Every structure is written in C-alpha cells, then in structure tokens.
C-alpha cells in the first residue's frame, strides 16, 4: 500500500503577463561524463502513444524528483546516462507510481513538483548517486548555481542533446520571484525544452530547485527562468520506508 505524498511547498501563482514554456539548456556546455551522477532522464509514455522526455534527479534508492508538468501515463527512468547512444552501465527502471503535488496548477505552474516511486531499487555506483536537498532558509539566495539536462541546446532545432549539457546560472533578487516562492535567473542562458524536471544545484552541491519554466515578458526584457523551490529549512521531503507496514510515506 502506498500513501500519497503531501508535498507542502507553497508556490504562489505566476502572474507575469508573458508566454510560459516548459524549459529552452541554451548557452551551456557538455558536462564532464558522469560528473552529475544524480541526473536521470525520464522517458514519458503519453496517453496518445507519443513519447516525450523530461529530466529528473535521484533522491535515494527508491525515489526520483521531477516537475508535475512532466506527468504521463507511465515512465521509464534512465540512470547513469551521459551519452544517450551509449548503454553501458545505464540502469532502466520503470516508475510504478507518481506523486504530483496535490495543488499543482497546470496553467500557472504553481506547485510544479512531483515524486516518482521506482519499481525496483537503484543500484548505486560511481555513475549513479543521489543528491542531497538544500537545508537553507527560504530567504537565502545562493550565489552560484548550475543546471543540466538533455534538452535543446539551440532555439532553432527540434532535437534534444545526445549528451548531458550543463550551464551556469546566477539567481536574481526579484520581488515577484520572492512572492512566488521560487528561484529565478534571467538571460539567454538557461534551461530548455526537455530540461524540465532537472535540478538547480548551487555552491554547496545540494539541489535547491526543480527546473519549471522559461518566460518571455510581453513587456520585453530578458527571458526569465523559474525553478520550483524544494527546501524550507530542514523541513524537506523525508522519504521513509516503513518495512513493518510494507509502505512508503512522505513526512514534511
């Protein structure tokens, strides 16, 4: 039996009058192979038979975190990937259950976060390791962060990257972002289509946010990239296996 996870992460509705996209890693570089062993590639099997892709990251041997807007009929999770054409050492595990935030709003991207429970335990290795979640106060703004994924590397192409790409981003002090309880960066460099669900990792090596959207304000100005905040002090998502009951539950 699985008790749905109540992810109490409050993100206010996005109110900017611009066009929102589910990503676009532009301005990045190829990552050193397997330097981000927590990154996973999600193959999304949709209701209409199509296959789409998102990113995600490993929390422990049983759970992956991604965005709620990456929901699908079913998922195949690829771990230990760098170049998607190379299968050596890559683990493929089906996600047996999805836990999107109960208050996720597909229009506003409010509460855009989701957990995937894997059908079997991950085999940790030098290429497959979990990442810790941030434990700093919400008003703490990291100085140096990075993102990664297999999304588009050029706004003119329709194709995803075959290799993991990373990019450095600088978080901005912005009243709207603070009210919305998410981190933001701005400019051409940022996540791209296919990068949604990846992690925003900052100077202490922990995950602070989940890649959610890219927005171009109608009033002009640079692209704004949004990352759903993960942590509120140490009240982070605590995934616990209660072996006596044969269940998993979330404790915030």
Residues with active-site annotation: 69, 112, 196
Region for residue 13 given its phi and psi (left: phi exceeds 0; alpha: psi -120 to 50; beta: otherwise): beta
**Backbone φ, ψ for residue 148 (5° rounding):** -155, 160
Token pair for 156: 């003119």
Rounded distance between C-alpha atoms, residue 226 and residue 200, angstroms: 10
Q: Are 187 and 229 in contact (CB under 8 A)?
A: no
Residue matched to tokens 């998607």? 84
| Backbone torsions φ then ψ of 68, nearest 5 degrees | -70, -25
Look at the alpha carbons of 76, 79, 84, 87 in this order and tell me if their dihedral is positive or negative: negative
Euclidean distance between CA atoms 55 and 43, whole angstroms? 9
Which of 248, 213, 207, 250 minimizes the C-alpha distance to 101?
250
């Amino acid at each position: 039996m699985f008790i749905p996870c109540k992810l109490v992460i409050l993100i206010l509705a996005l109110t900017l009058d611009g066009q929102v996209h589910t990503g676009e890693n532009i301005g990045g570089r190829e990552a050193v192979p397997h330097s981000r062993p927590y990154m996973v590639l999600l193959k999304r099997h949709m209701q209409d038979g199509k296959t789409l892709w998102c990113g995600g990251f490993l929390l422990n041997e049983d759970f992956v975190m991604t965005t709620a807007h990456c929901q699908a009929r079913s998922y195949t999770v690829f771990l230990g990937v760098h170049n998607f054409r190379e299968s050596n050492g890559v683990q493929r595990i089906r996600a047996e259950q999805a836990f999107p935030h109960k208050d996720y709003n597909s229009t506003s991207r409010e509460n855009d976060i989701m957990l995937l429970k894997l059908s079997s335990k991950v085999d940790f290795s030098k290429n497959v390791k979990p990442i810790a979640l941030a434990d700093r106060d919400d008003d703490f703004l990291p100085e140096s962060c990075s993102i990664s994924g297999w999304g588009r590397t050029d706004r003119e192409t329709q194709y995803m990257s075959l290799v993991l790409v990373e990019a450095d981003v600088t978080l901005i002090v912005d009243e709207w972002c603070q009210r919305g309880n998410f981190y933001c960066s701005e400019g051409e460099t940022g996540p791209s289509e296919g990068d949604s669900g990846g992690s925003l990792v900052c100077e202490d090596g922990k995950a602070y946010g989940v890649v959610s959207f890219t927005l171009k304000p109608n009033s002009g100005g640079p692209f704004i990239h949004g990352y759903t905040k993960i942590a509120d002090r140490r009240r982070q998502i605590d995934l616990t296996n209660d072996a006596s009951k044969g269940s998993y539950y979330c404790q915030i």
